[in-house]
Structure 1
Amino acid sequence: MDCSRWRFEVTSYANGARLNLQPGLRIRAGPVPGPWYGRAMSTPLLLLLTVVRILSEPPVVAEGEAETASPPNIVIVLADDLGMGDLGCLNDDARTSTPNLDRIARQGVRFTDAHSPSAVCSPTRYGILTGRYCWRSALKRGVLWTDDPLLIESDRPTIASELRARGYHTAFVGKWHLGLGATGKTDWTGPLDAGPHTVGFDQSIGIPSSLDIPPYCWFRDGRGDPSPTLTIEGSEHRRADGGGFWRAGPIAEGFVHEEVLPRSFDESVAIIQDQAIHRSDQPLFLQLCLSAPHTPWLPQERWQGTSGAGHYGDFVNQIDAGIGRLLTALEESGLASDTIFIFTSDNGSHWPAADVARWNHAANLNWRGQKADIHEGGHRVPLLIQWPARLAPGATIEQTVCLTDLYATSIAAAAEDHPTPFQGGEDSVDLLPLLLEDDPSSLKGRAGVVHHSLDGMFAIRVGDWKLIEGLGSGGFTEPKRRGPADGGPAVQLYDLASDPEETHDLAAERPDKVASLQAALDRIRASGRSVVR
């Protein structure tokens, strides 16, 4: 390669060095962990390897020659039981502090009408990875237990498998909760029958499910790391005071509940840094599924007392600090500009009225209900997207979207210059036109957004109208289920434009609207898809 066209500039920093190569390329180098957790590489060696890598690559394309843009990196961070009201950018009265998430909102796009496909954990994770409502799968209500079979069907494409087929390095970190045992009880002493490694992820490190469900252990690339060979007693449940609660069961030696959240960020930062050094010519897809602020609320000591919402709020603050670490890692690795960074939550906050009153903190804003419920508080979630190279900063999107849309959107972004057909995603809309061109026309292909509660209650949203197929919350909030009044309708109907808090049931007054929405819901369930492409 003729290097006469390049100008080299090396600038030293306290935490690394920056190498500028002109024209058109800047690489940030610093002490970067290698492929093993906690192992570091010195700055001089890192810088040398980077220079060698660059000089071994083909020359840059000359002006006027055809050039194909590289696909963007894609990072999806999924919080666990985080409400819209926990973010300062969505709640001026939040008793939490989220400067890093607020920065994403300022520099990117915030959604005000985004919904998880379910009001609880496992179904939402299925929906994000497959672009398909989970109630179409074997799981019709509730969540999985650790030893349940893998929920994702063996022939079902996922974001990870589709992106890997398009040249991405795919990585999973954190809470899985989609099943690890292919049949019955999981054997932790040998290779796991199923998990992230069988649905398209090149590398994975995570925990089986929530921090209140045994076994308590890490797995890495399809093996226990280490296996859960010990036993832990169940902890006392002291929700009001932020104390931890977990069930008795197997635990791995050295596993510490309080260390799961920070280690999840550690592992993610290491993956980002490793990508910049060892796979700089390959795009990255990273899915980080946090274990927080789901119970047990276990903020590290340095975060305790930093919020006005007890240990729950402290946990939220700790999450935000971890998000800051991810953003810094992307920036220092030179990946930030062309990375689509997505932050959202798997459902609303588990934050009943008693918590709102005690802490004066509306974790779910003024939406009715909470996690597990069919009302808005159960499934209306924060959604922030940042893409510095392409997205104008500071936009607010009010259109109704669903987290299943991340499937089609991610695949479209990966193949924007050369669109290719993809399988699956029956309930997924490509949001790129809305994000990049403020064009909502792609949403017209959706017959409606379907909501689903903990106990399997359905609802459908079309425009401003929401029909709930049942009475009660269908989740945690009482009454969970109730029968109709004599001669009254057995459904709920709300006009969210005039009644966003779902206080005035119009089912008896608008039987015509009930009938049309019920027919739309029935068609979606019968047809096998809600989106026509």
Structure 2
Amino acid sequence: MPDISRRVFGGLLGGGAVTAVAGPAAAAEAAPAEPAAGERPFAARTAGSGSARPNILVILGDDLGWADLSSYGSPHIETPHLDRLARQGVRFTDAYSGSATCSPTRFSLYTGRYPGRTEGGLAEPIGNRTQGLDPGHPTLASLLKKAGYATALIGKWHCGFLPDYSPTKSGWDEFFGNFGGALEYFSKLGQLGEYDLYEGDATYQDLRYYTTVLTERAVEYVGRDHDRPWLLNLNFTTPHWPWLAEGDEEAGAEIAARIRAGEGLGALLHHDGGSVEKYKEMVESLDAAVGKVLAALRRSGRERDTVVLFASDNGGERFSYQWPLSGQKSELLEGGIRVPTILRWPARIDGRQVSHEPVYTPDWTATLLEVAGARPDPAHPLDGTSLAGYLLRGEKPPERDLFWRVRRNRALRRGDWKYYQDAEGRDHLFHLARDAREQADLAAARPELLAELKAAWEKTAAGLLPYPG
């Protein structure tokens, strides 16, 4: 599977520097900038020592765009803690979310399957109490729990509301966070207009900035004296709208008042307010939060034997920096699904590496199950492909199609080629290694390849549930 060349990728970054974090403290000072050229192409360390059953920490940003980290080329957002995480592991340039919006991607992460395999995964995204992740469906958490792991989810769930749906009904031992897709960061009023911060299935009162609250909970969890390996899904809402940063209580109170007056959160805020500078503040607060959690992990003495996976749930939105990609959240152009993705496992994987292999959300489910010694449920076969052979044993990366289906778009990637159908039903063909911006449509020049990829998409789609009328 061809890679994007280092020369091309370096050009896309535009010479952007990668900042570092010095020392183990939670609020480490930034070290001198290091160029992306300090990375080397990924190569598995086939011999390694460490726990056969690592802890697993999966951290999701919310609507974080592909190039919103300084290590991915942002010219104005500084993310020293995430950049340090990238230098300690592998940074993926061609990593994708399982879908173009929040709920379907979370379904694909939790189940390891296409969102269209389940009724709840058809929602783009979930916005009412009738839809959700069936508690009887096996999940990453339930399968790891069966294998002896402790499991917790802190932050955004967005896979259904009480009373029928909850992380604690789907394999997580503990839950602390919000059920909906967004909330006002101080009042915790959520997408249904109700208070939306819970511990388990009971409301929990805390009117401080939400990112701060989640960070404290995550720091406490990783710092515990665990008697068995654990899975922690840490799902921040940052930098999802509403556009509020630490210290913006007054602006948050105005938003909360409008919600209480009957204005829906989504209709109120999706295209209301914000700025590039406010977005920068939010991303940098996410970076600082991740830094604190990783510092707690270092203090616990289990950093070496913990897999840390950081990604976004879909592409960026209004204020995201996505160059050179086209499109944004909700679309299957690259800007809607290509996401920053970093993997670190000091016991088994060397640092300062970059991988250009196409990977996406359901692959990580399969990978994490394998490295933890857990088995998928044969009644619910995974659509993701484990990357453990590639990452740990030096095997060739898996050759398979990456598939996406949303109501308005369709897409399939095979190697460097991408088939894309837009909202008007027009088919396009792009060569992503030469044209990551998806501006040079090769459909007319390569009709046979277009037909082959389109047929492959339709074959997969035929096995999924139809969208409700």
Same fold (TM over 0.5): yes
Query: Secondary structure of the equivalent of 1:174?
Result: strand
Counterpart-to-counterpart distance in 2, 1:456 and 1:198: 32
Out of 398, 402, 412, the residue aligned to residue 460 of structure 1 is 412
Question: For 1:404-435, what per-residue CA distance to the aligned partner results, in whole angstroms no more than 9, with x for missing partners?
Answer: 111111111111xxx75644352111111222
Q: Percent identity?
A: 35
Matches of residues 36-47 of structure 1 in structure 2 within 5 Å? none
Q: What is the one-letter code of the residue matched to 1:130?
A: T
CA contact (8 A) 1:402 1:449 kept: yes
For the structure 1 residues 69 and 121, does the alpha-carbon distance in structure 2 shift closer, same or farther, using more than 3 Å as the test? closer
TM-superposition CA deviations, 1:3-52 (whole Å, max 9, x none)? xxxxxxxxxxxxxxxxxxxxxxxxx9xxxxxxxxxxxxxxxxxxxxxxxx
Distance in 2 separating the partners of 1:149 and 1:331:
39
Return the offset for 1:298: 1.4
Contact kept, 8 Å, 2:70 with 2:79, in 1: the verdict is yes
Aligned to 2:160: 179
Question: How do 1:322-471 and structure 2 match up within 5 A?
Answer: 322-351=289-318, 355=319, 363-415=321-373, 420=375, 422-423=377-378, 424-441=380-397, 443-444=398-399, 446=400, 448-453=401-406, 455-469=407-421, 471=422
Match of 2:55? 73
Query: Matched residue of 1:344: which SS?
Result: strand
Q: Deviations over 1:111-136 (max 9, x none)?
A: 00001011100000000010111122
Deviation (angstroms), 1:141: 4.9
Residues 316-352 of structure 1: per-residue CA shift (max 9 Å, x gap): 000011111111111111111100011000011103x
Q: Distance in 2 between matches of 1:271 and 1:126?
A: 24
Summarize the Cα distance change of 1:68–1:507 in structure 2 as closer, same or farther, 3 Å threshold: closer
1: CA distance, partners of 2:128 / 2:306? 33
1:320 aligned to which of 287, 295, 302 = 287
Check conservation: 1:196, 1:204, Cα contact below 8 A: yes
Q: Retained in 2: the 8 A contact 1:146–1:208?
A: no
**Equivalent position amino acid for 1:267 in 2:** R
Cα distance change of structure 1 residues 141 and 68 upon mapping to structure 2, 3 Å threshold: closer
Q: 1:269 aligns with which of 203, 212, 219?
A: 219
Match of 2:196 in 1: 217
* Structure 1 residues 302 and 96, CA gap change in structure 2 (3 angstroms): farther
Displacement of 1:438 in angstroms is: 3.8
Q: Which residue of 2 aligns with 1:482?
A: 424
Instruction: Report the alpha carbon displacement of residue 388 of structure 1 after superposing the two structures with TM.
Output: 1.1
Q: Which has the higher contact order (CA 8 A, sep 6+)?
A: 2
The total of aligned residue pairs comes to 384
Q: Distance in 2 between matches of 1:135 and 1:458?
A: 13
- Offset, 1:389: 1.1
TM-score (norm 2): 0.77
Q: In structure 2, the residue corresponding to 1:450 is in which secondary structure?
A: strand
Letter in 2 for 1:525: A
SS of residue paired to 1:89 = helix
Partner of 2:446: 510
Per-residue deviation, 1:456: 4.0
Looking at structure 2, the residues matched to 267 and 68 of structure 1 have their Cα atoms a distance apart, in angstroms, of 27
Could you tell me how far apart the structure 2 residues matched to 1:325 and 1:71 are?
24
Relative to structure 1, is the Cα distance of residues 425 and 377 closer, same or farther in structure 2, using a 3 angstrom cutoff? farther
Structure with max Cα Rg = 1
Unaligned 5+ segments in structure 1 are: 1-27, 29-66, 182-191, 227-253, 356-361, 472-480, 484-489
User: Which deviates more from structure 2 when the two are superposed, residues 136-145 or residues 330-339?
Assistant: 136-145
User: Is the 8 Å Cα contact of residues 98 and 404 (structure 2) preserved in structure 1?
Assistant: yes
The alignment's C-alpha RMSD in Å is 2.4
3-state DSSP of counterpart to 2:122? coil
Per-residue CA deviation, residues 359-406 of structure 1 (Å, 9 max, x unaligned), is xxx612210111111100000001101111111111111110011111
Partners of 1:435 and 1:70 lie apart in 2 by: 15
Contact between 1:85 and 1:94, CA under 8 Å: does it hold in 2? no
Q: Which amino acid aligns with 1:450?
A: F
User: One-letter code of the match for 1:465?
Assistant: W
**Structure 2: distance between partners of 1:394 and 1:438:** 17
Which residue of structure 1 aligns with residue 240 of structure 2? Answer: 294
Task: Tell me how far 1:68 sits from its aligned partner.
Answer: 10
C-alpha distance after superposition, 1:248-303 (max 9, x if no partner):
xxxxxx553x62111111111111122xx2x2x30010001111100012111399
Structure 2: how far apart are the matches of 1:502 and 1:420? Answer: 38
Measured after TM superposition, the shift of residue 208 of structure 1 is 1.4
Closer, same or farther in 2 for the Cα pair 1:99/1:457, shift >3 Å?
A: same
In structure 2, the CA distance between the partners of 1:395 and 1:462, relative to structure 1 (3 Å rule), is same
Alpha-carbon contact 1:379-1:451 (below 8 Å) kept: no
- Asked whether the equivalents of residues 130 and 425 of structure 1 are also in contact (C-alpha less than 8 Å), the reply is no
User: 1:520 pairs with 450, 456, 459, which one?
Assistant: 456
Residue type of the alignment partner of 2:218: S
**Separation (CA, whole Å) in 1 of partners of 2:51 and 2:215:** 29
C-alpha spacing 1:326/1:427, structure 2 compared with 1 (3 Å): same
Name the SS for the 1:340 alignment partner.
strand
User: Alpha carbons of 1:422 and 1:482: their partners in 2 closer, same or farther (altered >3 Å)?
Assistant: closer
Asked whether the equivalents of residues 151 and 231 of structure 2 are also in contact (C-alpha less than 8 Å), the reply is yes
**Which structure 2 segments of 5+ residues have no match?**
1-23, 25-48, 184-189, 250-274
Write the letter of the residue equivalent to 2:279: Y
1:364 & 1:129 partners in 2: Cα distance? 26
Aligned partner of 2:144 in structure 1 is 163
Q: Hey, what's the Cα distance between the residues in 1 that align with 2:153 and 2:375?
A: 24
With the length of structure 1 as denominator, give the TM-score of the two structures: 0.68
